[in-house]
Amino acid sequence: MDQTFITRIVEAALMAANQPLTLAQLQGLFSLDEPAPESSVEQALQTLRDQCADRGVELVELASGFRFQVKADVHAWVARLWTERQTKYTRATLETLALIAYRQPITRGEIEQVRGVAVNSNIIKALEEREWIRVVGHRDVPGKPALFGTTKGFLDYFGLKRLDELPPLSELKDLGELEPQLQFEPEAAASMPVGDMHVGDMPMEGAQDIPMDETSFDEIPMNDAQDVAPEASDYEDDDAETASSEQTHE
């Protein structure tokens, strides 16, 4: 089996798959009776990357594997094919997601302490249903509160392979009170180094054409999230959250 044919097989598999494919999955396409030569699949992936240099798509490696995706410079035109309603998340939701991404593992109480308001249960539920966050452990304190962290699905959606590819938080304009947390608990994130990162520059599929320094969090459209996004009434605005928090303390 020559290298050209192996490259064609890998390309076809990536095009046919509805999710990223790992190197092991791609190698598993070849039977034991007719295995691919050593490093031939890796070479095929590199060839496909090179061939995409002048095309409208690119081959990228994400947390879950390899996939083809539309390049950012042509996304605005291709997006016209997608007629579904663009879902917008509230500022409170995106602030919560940012805190989990940059300071994980983190408890709900710690999120509330940083934001200064109670976290609506529907926010956590929506992010879990979106498969962007999950419970990664429990804090060893009375009550054993759940620790939240991000998932591979979160990294895949934002076009990242690892958490250390997140942009620097030090440049974040809208959430200036956040500080990068470099110490991660081994239980949840020993393999996830995080430096100074920035949500405002975070690449978003379906939103690459929106300059983040000119757009507030609650204006960010997320094209493919409408199947899990809660109804608008499920979210409370910041004033409502604050009132809820004050009533709770009373």
DSSP string, 143-198: T-PEEEEE-HHHHHHTT-SSGGGSPPGGG-STTTT--------HHHHTT----S--
Helices 121-129 and 91-103, packing angle to 10 deg: 70
pLDDT confidence of residue 4: 94
pLDDT digits (tens, 9 = 90+) for 6-44: 999 999 999 999 999 999 999 999 988 888 899 999 999
pLDDT confidence of residue 24: 93
Residue ranges with strand state E in the chain: 57-62, 65-70, 87-88, 106-107, 133-138, 146-150, 221-222
pLDDT confidence of residue 88: 77
Report the DSSP pairing between strands 106-107 and 146-150: antiparallel
pLDDT confidence of residue 102: 92
Phi, psi of 241, deg, nearest 5: -65, -45
Residue predicted with more confidence, 181 or 60? 60
Answer whether 3-70 and 87-249 agree in fold: yes
Strand-pairing partners, residue 146, are 138
pLDDT confidence of residue 207: 34
State how far the Cα of 89 lies from the Cα of 92, in Å rounded to an integer.
8
Place 81 in a pLDDT band, splitting at 50, 70 and 90: confident
Fold of domain 87-249: Arc Repressor Mutant, subunit A (1.10.10)
Phi, psi of 148, deg, nearest 5: -105, 145
pTM for this model (two decimals): 0.57
Per the rule left: phi > 0, alpha: psi between -120 and 50, beta: everything else, 22 is beta
pLDDT digits (tens, 9 = 90+) for 189-215: 333 333 333 333 333 333 333 333 333
Residue predicted with more confidence, 233 or 3? 3
Fold of domain 3-70: Arc Repressor Mutant, subunit A (1.10.10)
Domain boundaries of the chain, sorted by first residue? 3-70, 87-249
Place 173 in a pLDDT band, splitting at 50, 70 and 90: low
